[in-house]
């Protein structure tokens, strides 16, 4: 389920919208990880983010969608 599990795991509607905006949740591992972690810290939910993100990043890694995601992330930011 990927994006659905990750977005609803945080429990923030705002996060759900941002994930979709970044190319259906397949953002670049390096850049996306840093940006998401900073935003999670501002919500005070870094621990939830860490557990959800690690599982989601594994799925992204397996899917092999890192390069297309990076161009989408850069364009939309």
- Structural domain boundaries of the chain? 3-76
Structure confidence by residue, pLDDT tens digits, 27-64: 444 444 545 555 544 545 445 555 556 666 565 555 55
Q: Look at residues 12, 34, 18, 5 and name the one whose alpha carbon lies nearest to residue 72.
A: 18
Assign 22 a pLDDT band (cuts: 50, 70, 90): very low
Q: Look at residues 64, 68, 65, 53 and name the one whose alpha carbon lies nearest to residue 9.
A: 53
| pTM confidence score | 0.16
Average pLDDT of the chain is 51
Using CA atoms, how far apart are residues 70 and 31, in angstroms rounded to an integer? 8
């Amino acid at each position: 389920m990927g994006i659905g599990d990750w977005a609803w795991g945080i429990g923030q509607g705002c996060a759900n919208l941002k994930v979709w905006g970044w190319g259906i949740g397949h953002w670049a591992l390096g850049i996306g990880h840093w940006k998401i972690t900073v935003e999670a810290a501002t919500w005070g939910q870094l621990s939830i983010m860490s557990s959800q993100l690690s599982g989601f990043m594994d799925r992204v890694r397996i899917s092999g969608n890192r390069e297309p995601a990076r161009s989408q992330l850069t364009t939309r930011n």
